[in-house]
Structure 1
Amino acid sequence: MNALVLLVGDPLFLAGVLERVRGLAAVTVETVETAAQAEVLMNESPPDLVIAQARQLTPLSKLSTFRQQRSLLGIYFVVIEDRLLPRLVKLPMQTPMPVEETIEALEAGADAYLWLPPAERMQVPPTTYEQFNRLLQAQVQTGLYRSLAYRDLTQANDWLSAVALVDALTQLNNRRAFDLELPRQIENTRSKAIDLSLMMIDIDCFKSINDYYGHPVGDEVLRQLAQRLLNDMRFYDTPFRYGGEEFTVILNQTNAQEAGAIGDRLCRLMADQVFSIDASLTISTTVSIGIATLQPSDDEEGKSLLKRADQNLLKAKNLGRNQVVIS
């Protein structure tokens, strides 16, 4: 089991937990004595399960601060009260539960709160003492199961999110990713008072390529063009497959003059380098490019910026293709 368990408590408490809980040898165990030390360790490498001595979390609001950190949401917290609570001293055969303390701990964010009194001070019968140990063991097993399930679910969700934002054919970010990223880049540009331009690229006569050579060849042209964008654009420029044979590139820190130069260079690159489909087939094609530079009047979502870039792309097509139009 690839799990990390963090024990928090004084040396006597730590030794007791290690002795009472079976199966800890199969996981990685870290030990610290204070909540402050635990917080540092949790931020560096979040554990799957925390078993903490209640007195180290006094007041229990310390636990609440842990729960407020998003990176620690998947941790299962087991809080153990090992002190002899005077008001709970009853007959040995009874197993008193600290109800008020349990409520307080759970409201603070604990997943489980256990009272494990020292056997020698309570004169707890062996069978009752074993029940306490079984309860602790059950909570540890439950905590590890839930935490690892949460980890697996988080990883699966991260993967699905990544897949949802990536174009399967070209491996570029897709239209959905573009719609999310453009407003963020506009906000960043305006907050820093810098320039931003948007480039729209369309493969000239792409329908003819599909009609004459077939869609698999057209797909290969799309893949190779996407790779050229990744290889030849600046590292801080973000290319997207917008749809069909159209691509967009967000040009960060780029004014109109700089964007025009980038567009001209890209046009030459596409025209001068053939697309090698296989050993017997190469295809020459060109691209048309429309560019718009962010203006103060543009909306925060980038709709007007995108509209101008698209209009300029259409102008480039109508003027004979294989050229750049910018505004």
Structure 2
Amino acid sequence: MTTSILLIGNHKLLSTLTEHNASLLSTWVEGESMDEVIQAIKTHLPDVVILENSLLIDQGLCQSVKQKAYGRWIYFLAIKSQKYSSQTHPDLQAYCSEKIHFLAQGVDGYLDIIPPEILSKNQAQAQAQLFLSHLEIGLLWSQKCKTLIQENDYLSTIALCDPLTEIGNRRALDWDLPRQVYNARKHHVPLSIAVVDIDYFKAVNDNYGHLVGDRILQLLITRIKHKLRPLDTIFRYGGEEFVVVFKQANLDQGEVIAQRLRRTVAEQPFLVEPELSLSVTISLGIAELKSDDDPQGRSLLQRADEKLLLAKARGRNQVLR
């Protein structure tokens, strides 16, 4: 697995520390401003950032980057060059206080460096080896984080996906609908939803079996998705019930899309097997977001569901608003 290391600060010092491992040092940025360094991090997406600029740490660079998606796996190693002579030793209390301060600012590792020119050859080599050990730990930590993030993203996808129809499930709807309500209000754009039910679907399962019923669900979703706009999202709400979120669509626009979905399902039978094709219809209830709807979208969903029940009571295969 390839790795990337971004150096920020005293390039000469860091080059001396890695004199025999120059290939480790991927990119050097002599950044002074927060914006410049953050842009470099976004561009190079490093595994490890080595910081020799304590001012950027105090300005919150590490915490700012870690809050972004691209910074979740980055390991920040702070390097502080101390002006000790070969006969003096660091003030332990000051060293600990400074390290605690840096760790509180989001730094993952901290290393106090004595300029190699005042050290003996053996001391300089030992210090360089300590630095490389810190670097190794940072790279290992970063790679493990990347792996965990990938696994978590995969598990999240599974948790939010209906395995049969490969669309979002009810949990995904519960997560997405409040976001859409928030975005619609923030940007002052309309939002409509449709609750969709397959008419007499129980009879399909009773007469042909659940495998045929499952195939109908798959074929129906494939057909519906081809008639949705790129902005629209469909979720499986229950057994044969679905919810479609029409972003940036008012009630009139939502009705136009809903009627298109109804027609595309009803106009052509579904070829389930070479010798079996079944005609299916759907009923839809639609509603538009109102100013007094709750932030989670429950009242919006309830109104659309009530319209669906009315559509079924009035004979099915229709859209009601």
TM-score scaled to structure 1, two decimals? 0.86
SS in 1 for 2:19: helix
| 8 Å contact from structure 1 (residues 67, 109) kept in 2 | yes
| 8 Å contact from structure 2 (residues 77, 109) kept in 1 | yes
SS in 2 for 1:58: helix
1:43 is aligned to: 42
> Structure 1 CA distance, aligned partners of 2:239 and 2:135?
53
Deviations 1:11-49 (A, max 9, x none): 4224213315x4x63x67111223445332112232111
- Answer yes or no: is 1:212 the counterpart of 2:212: no
Following TM superposition, by how much is the alpha carbon of 1:104 offset from its aligned partner in structure 2, in angstroms?
3.6
5+ unaligned residues in a row in structure 2: which ranges?
none
> Structure 2 CA distance, aligned partners of 1:186 and 1:100?
47
> Structure 1 CA distance, aligned partners of 2:231 and 2:138?
43
SS in 1 for 2:168: coil
- Answer yes or no: is 1:65 the counterpart of 2:61: yes
Q: Percent identity?
A: 37
5+ unaligned residues in a row in structure 1: which ranges?
none
Distance 1:100 1:182, change over 3 A: closer
AA aligned to 1:154 is I
| 8 Å contact from structure 1 (residues 8, 14) kept in 2 | no
- Aligned residue runs from structure 1 range 89-238, under 5 A: 89-90=86-87, 98-122=95-119, 124=120, 126=122, 128-238=123-233
Distance 1:267 1:135, change over 3 A: same
Distance 1:138 1:227, change over 3 A: same
Distance 1:218 1:109, change over 3 A: same
> Structure 2 CA distance, aligned partners of 1:261 and 1:58?
58
Following TM superposition, by how much is the alpha carbon of 1:105 offset from its aligned partner in structure 2, in angstroms?
3.0
TM-score scaled to structure 2, two decimals? 0.87
Larger Rg: 1
> Structure 1 CA distance, aligned partners of 2:166 and 2:303?
26
- What do you get for the CA RMSD once the two structures are aligned? 2.5
Following TM superposition, by how much is the alpha carbon of 1:228 offset from its aligned partner in structure 2, in angstroms?
1.6
AA aligned to 1:266 is L
| 8 Å contact from structure 1 (residues 169, 223) kept in 2 | yes
AA aligned to 2:18 is L
| 8 Å contact from structure 2 (residues 84, 90) kept in 1 | no
> Structure 2 CA distance, aligned partners of 1:100 and 1:297?
53
> Structure 2 CA distance, aligned partners of 1:113 and 1:176?
42
2:3 is aligned to: 3
Deviations 1:252-279 (A, max 9, x none): 2333333333322222211111111132
| 8 Å contact from structure 1 (residues 3, 28) kept in 2 | no
Q: Which moved more, 1:301-310 or 1:168-177?
A: 301-310
